[in-house]
Chains A and B, each alone.
Chain A
């Protein structure tokens, strides 16, 4: 079974803090993704990575950055957290390699609250 784990299920931070969300997958997947999920807005793609040290902006990258130093780990960074970044953050991974029917495997999510 593919397993995608996220470092925290719940996180509370203060405005202006630097926040790191960590995601690890154990199936040697090439591609990794970060989404945020908000009620009524669905899943919105923040950033994705299709190789180590490679990244591409998604639909809502503003206020976020990412890091992928190792194939299995993909980090989402909030440089200076703001209250409008309070959300559920979901990480996903796919096998990659140009397979258009690739399945996205999601982690359980991190619920971040910024006070």
Chain B
């Protein structure tokens, strides 16, 4: 059962364009929604994250939009650059094992930004 659905699987954008990656979830117990960025040969690293009581969070060129009623959230990359080319994973956090939390990841989006 896939609890976090991510689309598209791959995305090609021209330099300077806007990249948009979408995620949807079913479990309303999720309480934190991070995005991770992974470059080839590296492990994923936290990019930006949002709590469900906030509708939007912006950090530089990266923005998360969150729609709690629709159970959807998305990552927008403004002025996309070739250096943004990477795989992006959305995730959702759930309490497990007492007071600890684990993440459920989407399947990932391979972003290619052409120069």
Name A residues whose Cβ lies closer than 8 Å to a Cβ of B: 4, 30-31, 33, 35, 40-45, 48, 50, 54, 56, 58-59, 90, 92, 94, 96-109
CB-nearest residue of chain B relative to A42?
B107
Interface residues of B, count at CB 8 A: 30
Closest residue of B by beta carbon distance from A49? B97
Rounded to whole Å, the gap between the CB of B69 and the closest CB of chain A is 21
Interface contact B107-A97, CB-CB below 8 Å: no
A78 to B93, CA, bound (A): 27
Please tell me which one of the listed residues B9, B42, B89, B98 contacts residue A43 in the complex, with CB atoms under 8 A apart: B89
Taking A59-B104, A105-B45 as known contacts, 6 extra A-B pairs with beta carbons closer than 8 A to each other, sorted by chain A number, are A40-B107, A42-B106, A58-B102, A100-B31, A100-B32, A109-B42
Task: Tell me whether B44 and A102 are in contact (CB under 8 A).
Answer: no
Closest residue on chain B to residue A9 by CB atoms: B41
